[in-house]
Structure 1
Amino acid sequence: MSLFTLFAAAFGAATLLPFQSEVVFVGMQLRGSAPLGLLLFWASLGNTLGSCVNYAMGRFAAQYEDRRWFPVSRPAMARAERWYAKWGYWTLLLSWAPFGDGVTVIAGVLRTRFLLFLALVTVAKTGRYAVLAWGTAQL
């Protein structure tokens, strides 16, 4: 597997699409496909950029919420908006979690400052892969 494959898997995993980048990351780490620093960089970059796509989708969501193809129902969006309003932008540090894709969309809907969004999501995504790499190294 190539670093591009890792980047693409990480990118896809951060969007609303059902991808699993952890399997690709761990497989490449165990095989020694590339230095660990490169694996961390490309996985983190792909995952962070995928979250930026979610942010952009959310940023313009209000004009498309009534469309049938919109991926989030209005009641689910309202719940997420209330949750984000209650806990604030610090919830972006949970963007690595299974529900994190929704948090990144809501950050766009609520027009969180992009540089703040980018900083918090980068820390969260890189931290997740660093913990995954450490755990894999313990095997």
Structure 2
Amino acid sequence: MEAWIHHLIELLALPQFGLSTVFVVSFISATLLPLGSEPVVFGLVKLNPDMFWPAILVATAGNTLGGALDWWLGFGAHRVVDKYSHSSHHGRAVRWLEKLGPKACLLAWLPIVGDPLCAVAGWLKFPFWPCVAYMAVGKFARYFLMTGSLIWAFPGIFAS
């Protein structure tokens, strides 16, 4: 069983590509495509413990740039008529987001709602750079806490 898990982590980390793979997977996972980058970051760090900080920073950069792309997509989508604009849920969500402003992008790290949140921030025409800054803080915290927690929780697995 442990050999199978080791092989899976090695495959996900793609050590022959390293940080470039972390960047690409983190970028793509921040778009509206359903992909998680945490296994790739964890796999790379488990195989190369000295790559903890570079992997966290590269994953943060890729995921933040993907969130920025979502912002621009939302900004462009603002010109399209929203078919749900009259629902009570829509109104409440928009009022909540407008109250928070760019700070709402701190939640961009959340599964399912985080990536669309970046697009909605662009759609609502929140200022781009403050949104990107809040996205980066939230995404950095996620990668740091998740990868660090997994390393702490599974210290003996895959030890060389």
TM norm. shorter chain > 0.5 = yes
User: 1:134 aligns to what?
Assistant: 148
Q: Could you give the per-residue CA deviations for residues 16-68 of structure 1, whole angstroms, max 9, x where no partner exists?
A: 001110111111111117611110111011100000010000111122347xx
Q: Is the 8 A contact 1:28 1:34 kept in 2?
A: no
Structure 1 CA distance, aligned partners of 2:116 and 2:63? Answer: 14
Structure-2 residue corresponding to 1:24: 40
Please, which of 90, 95, 102 is the counterpart of residue 89 of structure 1? 102
Looking at structure 1, the residues matched to 37 and 119 of structure 2 have their Cα atoms a distance apart, in angstroms, of 20
Runs of 5+ consecutive residues of structure 1 not aligned to the other structure: 67-72
Give yes or no for the alignment of 1:63 onto 2:79. yes
User: CA, structure 1 residues 86+136, in 2 after alignment: closer, same or farther (shift >3 Å)?
Assistant: same
Change (3 A) 1:33 1:74: farther
Structure 2: how far apart are the matches of 1:86 and 1:3? Answer: 37
Q: Number of matched residues?
A: 133
Aligned identity (percent) is: 32
Paired residue for 2:84? 74
Note the alpha carbon deviations across 1:77-132, whole angstroms, 9 max, x for none: 93542441244332211110011111101110111111111110110011110101
The one-letter amino acid of 1:127's match is A
In terms of Rg, which structure is larger? 2
Cα distance in 1 for partners of 2:101, 2:129 equals 15
Q: Which has the higher contact order (CA 8 A, sep 6+)?
A: 1
Asked if 1 retains the 8 angstrom alpha-carbon contact of 2:75 and 2:123, the reply is: yes
**Residue 122 (1) aligns with residue 131 (2):** no
**Corresponding position of 1:49:** 65
SS at match of 1:74: coil
| CA distance in 1: counterparts of 2:99 and 2:127, whole angstroms | 17
Structure 2 unpaired stretches of 5+: 1-13, 155-160
**Structural RMSD (CA):** 2.1
1:35 matched to 2:51: yes
Q: What TM-score do you get using the length of structure 2 for normalisation?
A: 0.74
1:6 pairs with 2:16: no
Residue 38 of structure 1 aligns with an amino acid whose one-letter code is: P
Mapped to 2, the partners of 1:100 and 1:123 lie a distance apart of 13
Instruction: Please give the secondary structure, in 2, of the residue aligned with 1:60.
Output: helix
